[in-house]
Structure 1
């Protein structure tokens, strides 16, 4: 039995047959769709000249690979029927859905009710990028919810080198003093307007922190545990390969990335 055709790809074929414009995916040109496919013969896939190749993601069992590509709509049916392609689907649009977090993890929805707050709880986050000046991490009185930030890529404080030999730790008092100025990132010496790429693109940690315990002051959507304080470890990433084949040889171990 043949595998079912992805409805989004069928829609693209229908639009093209009626002479309507087709372009699915942010990178797709007119008459193209961006697809994600599972292929069992990577060599055969890479030799195809009827697609514009994208990313290759090897699967653990080594029997197949996940690939992305930009494909002319006219070639979709042939690709779908190819024995080397196990599945092919149109790329899906991404949308921010922070408001759905509590529902998706079956947590009690955050509210102003004290029973659903996390005062006295400390949340530890090990990630990349902590936007300490965002309104969702400052309460209504201007106090930061962040107790400490350990920036492993930061300059070592000579007075603390014995205790903290790698990077720099910023205390709540230092963070709040910076928040009281017109240039908090420059004052603290840390943050998205201070760090250079690739660190400056590290918004993942900020997103995770907001889901966990953001106040909701800026976005009207509080985190799962409003009232908790945060200890944030911004891991060292100065040895990361951000392009080329070496990217796949790095793993996240908590104190940076190691081969």
Structure 2
């Protein structure tokens, strides 16, 4: 029997270049319509206000301090708890593991306002547990922990799956304890993913609105986060001031994302 090799037609370089340019053009137009133009309009709108006086007003500074402080705490807690959850999901076997793994993504699928209502019902004045933290900073922390839960877990999980357990076994054969193996072998490999997930959690927490608008009470200079402060400016028909606040949040989130990208290039 003889085998015949079918020669595939060669696509001219000019045609390949034309296809690539077409794809690039469509992608650029789509990103411009969905992301760049709306963001540019917010920046332009912010110039109609006295930008510096708006973002440095006592109420704005208080909101920024509260938001950034709690977001940093949320990122730190997620770094530890998310790594532990990812470790359990990858390394342990137990009944209902698939259900627990699916519940990790629930904050992505659940509308954030529903999360706020749920937390208010569980930890508000009518709490079945007798725990009332509504209209406090603890309520904001709890709400932000809920909506940012998946970030570190989903960042660390694939790294753990790909991590070769033979390195830990070799360390154990040389007399290393489990804690030493984790600190010297596992953690250095997980660290970039932990930092990346925590940074994403921080960026999400800084701009969160739906889950905190009900349970925080929105008390100026006490429990008012930046996103709610910007919404209050819109309700007061001060859209330019709200745009100025939004530009600061945009710049902060962009810096975090650029930091994540630079971390990814060094991995």
TM-score category by the smaller chain? under 0.3
TM-score under structure 2 normalisation? Answer: 0.24
Flag the structure with higher strand content.
1
TM-score using structure 1 length = 0.25
Higher RCO (CA < 8 A, seq sep 6+)? 2
